[in-house]
Amino acid sequence: MNGELSDYARKKLKEGLAKLPEEHQMKFKRMYAFNELDLPIEKVVDIMPDEKLDHALTLVKNSIEILNAEIANGWWDGLTKEKTRTGGSSWNRRSSRQIPDYYGSSGRGINRT
């Protein structure tokens, strides 16, 4: 990747990561600077190898889209960056439209009566 593209990708990563809550930024640090978790997120982006920028941009873009969907559905307060709905993380939240609840509310399996 040439220098201009690399600089542009790093700039976009920093802008995208600034929109994400700290828990997402920490996950990003664990993926790309697991030995340097105390570094600021901007420094993590600066020291990333060029060959990982494309994948990192995709991850950040997808995280922003998920967060925006949660805000639109009222599951996340975008100002305080706190979840307003209890239950799993944004990665595995159960929705009746997506995953049927085979265990029922009792957690004892399918109701066969």
Residue linked to tokens 């997506």:
98
The dihedrals phi and psi of 67, each to the nearest 5 degrees, come to: -65, -40
The angle at the Cα of 22, spanning 36 to 14, to the nearest 5 degrees, equals 70
* pLDDT confidence tier of residue 113, bands split at 50, 70 and 90: very low
Residue 8 CB: number of other CB atoms within 10 A? Answer: 13
With H, G, I as helix, E, B as strand and everything else as coil, classify residue 11. Answer: helix
Say if residue 22's pLDDT is above 60: yes
- Provide the Cα torsion 92, 95, 96, 99; round to 10°: -20
Q: CA-CA distance, 23 to 80, in Å (whole number)?
A: 13
The 10s digit of each residue's pLDDT in 79-104 is 555 555 544 444 444 443 444 444 44
What DSSP element (H or E) covers 86?
Answer: none
CA 104 – CA 101 distance, rounded (Å): 6
For the chain, helix, strand, coil in percent to 5 are 50, 5, 45
Across residues 18-46, what is the average pLDDT? Answer: 91
Average pLDDT value for residue range 28-40: 90
Does the pLDDT of residue 109 top 80, yes or no? Answer: no
Q: Is the pLDDT of residue 31 over 70?
A: yes
Confidence of residue 67 (pLDDT cuts 50, 70, 90): confident
Q: What percentage of the chain reaches a pLDDT higher than 70?
A: 65
Please give the model's pTM, rounded to 2 decimal places: 0.63
